[in-house]
Chain A
Amino acid sequence: MIEIRSLVKRFGPFTAVDGVDLDVARGEVLGFLGPNGAGKTTTMRMVTGFLAPTSGRACVCGLDVGEDRIAAQRLLGYLPEGAPAWPDMTPAELLDFAAQARGMDRAARRAAVGRAVERVQLESVLHKPIENLSKGFKRRVGLAQAILHDPDVLVLDEPTDGLDPNQKFEVRRLIAEMSEGKAIVLSTHILEEVDAVCTRATVMAKGRLVADGTPADLRAKDPRHGAVRVRLVDAGRAGAARATLAELASVSAIEDEDGALICLAAGGASPADAIYATCREHGFDLSELTPLEGRLDEVFRELTGAPARGERSTVGRTTEEAVR
């Protein structure tokens, strides 16, 4: 449904998007992750025809957006970053305008606006000027506009930004509901959102895609994925336990964390059973034995070049020492 080929966008000397290739199929909900300035919004703007690429192309349902912008935009719903809207219009007027611009006749407009309004629950503010609405309602006006014509391809730039937890939940439910039969791309900073709605996640950094896979694939990139946290009743024996556990074949390395031992998996099966058996054998009484999952935020930091877990704590310590 969406095909992006070697997409590049330069603004003067600055390369915002640097050769992105991406395909999104029907039924997929693609989460677009990345720090601010990574090129997510620029990529979305090129897919939706707002920006022209410097080179490469973006196709929507087989239509090249650069060559056939209008035809592609008919098939596309787009929520721009920040959900811009004319402040002096009411949601009813804005949605009616968007429906007219999409060539619907009066009856079709009424039906489409009614359906979109119901889906994002805008009824209560339908006739209030948008400038007087809360951030959450403004975002929902933008969402309603994007889904108005029930498009095959939906591009949402930070759809849950500025919403309270209940509203976020509603929007995620809405996206999940609509995902069947559509290709949906959404950008977000909120990693939990990827688990909540996305079937696939990509990470962008400095204009390039640095990871692409299911949320579980991404999580598995964390070195602590599959690790086991072990805490002893008698903290004094931690050193002895550490030496013993380090010899296990299923444990690749052991890290300390708040008096607990983090036994990293050597790959393959979880080391939990072996650790438990070894500890019983050597008489180490356990107060905790917790299998760990990889954390998306750690993977995200690793991929996007921010200091990861270990490095950050080192930096913290150095600063503390310097202050002393």
Chain B
Amino acid sequence: MSGARNLWVVGKRELRSYFATPVAYVFLVVFLLLAGFLSQFLGQFYEGGQANLESFFSFNIWLYLFLVPAISMRLWSEERRNGTIELLMTLPITETQAVLGKYLAAWAFCGVALALTFPIWITVAYLGDPDHGTIVTGYLGSFLMSGAFLAIGSMVSACTKNQVIAFVVTATVGFVFILADFPFITGVIDAYLPEVFGQLVRSIGFMTHFSGLQRGVVELPSVVFFGSLIAAALYVNTLLVAHVKAS
């Protein structure tokens, strides 16, 4: 009971700190502008003539690639640099509560940013007759994927006091996950290594897992993939926080 309470206490403080500085507003404006811009001009949202949000969702992954690290980079790096990690971890709060509370706050913030793209849903509903179930699935898939990027970012941020390093490393790791199932990568692996490696690398590719969800197909393996990636990254994150404290 007090565990859930502490999650809420930590998360609320975290979320409030986003809005205490311009960080939250800059992020929201940039995210919404880019989401709209990319789906209209690169994704041919209108010219495509299709009543769905595929052109919108397909660019979310690239937006997350460099916008999510901008949120996650400060999660633990800043606590370490300010020394506030000592304040936080000498209050009666466990590492797990602190990691989860901060993570959930950041994820909720991503959720807010994503939810604020609703006008594009209204537009497509006004212009045509989309499958709303597909759109809901697409949104959930996109949210889940942002959570995966974020969990990686949170974990990386616990490794360093330097936010720039946290940003760059997170974006790079995210890029690896995106590229994993691109033909030019898997082609090379298939050509030189046993088949199992190709399958392994393909199975961690964000693109494949997300493309099903954005088309409205809830594939259990994809949900499990993102879910277990989040769980694993956050578990390592708590170990890192405990280790940082110890040294």
Contacts and interface: CB of A to CB of B under 8 A. Distances in A.
B83 A84 contact: yes
Contacts of A73: 90-92
Contacts of B17: 86, 88-89
Interface in A43-87: 45, 48-52, 70-71, 73-74, 76, 78, 80-82, 84-87
Interface string B80-110: 0011101101111110000000000000000
A77 B82 CA distance: 20
Contacts of B9: 97, 100-101
A71 B92 CA distance: 7
Contacts of A48: 90
B245 interface: yes
B92 A84 contact: no
Contacts of A178: none
A133 to B, nearest CB: 14
Interface residues of A, number: 31
B interface secondary structure, majority? helix
Interface in B86-143: 86-87, 89-94
A98 B92 CA distance: 9
A160 interface: no
Contacts of A49: 89-90
Contacts of B191: none
Interface residues of B, number: 24
Nearest to A142: B87
Contacts of B89: 49-50
A86 B10 CA distance: 13
Interface in B190-247: 245-247
Contact of A80 (B10, B83, B94): B83
A179 interface: no
A66 to B, nearest CB: 11
Interface in A213-246: none
A74 B90 CA distance: 9
Contacts of A97: 9, 13
Given A45-B86, A80-B87, A97-B13, A52 B20 contact: no
B247 A11 contact: yes
Interface in A82-108: 82, 84-89, 93, 97-98, 100-103
Contact of A98 (B2, B20, B91): B91
Contacts of B93: 70, 101
B247 to A, nearest CB: 6
A101 B83 contact: no
A78 B90 contact: yes
Nearest to B93: A101
B87 A88 contact: no
A145 interface: yes
Contacts of B245: 50-52
A74 B92 contact: yes
Contacts of A145: 87
Contacts of A11: 247
A275 B17 CA distance: 70
Nearest to B87: A84
Contacts of B87: 80, 84-85, 145
Interface string B1-36: 010011001100100110011000000000000000
A85 B82 CA distance: 7
Contacts of B10: 101
A64 to B, nearest CB: 15
Contact of B20 (A78, A88, A102): A88
Contact of B6 (A88, A93, A101): A101
B5 A103 contact: yes
Given A70-B93, A101-B6, 6 more contacts: A70-B92, A86-B17, A86-B82, A88-B20, A88-B21, A89-B20
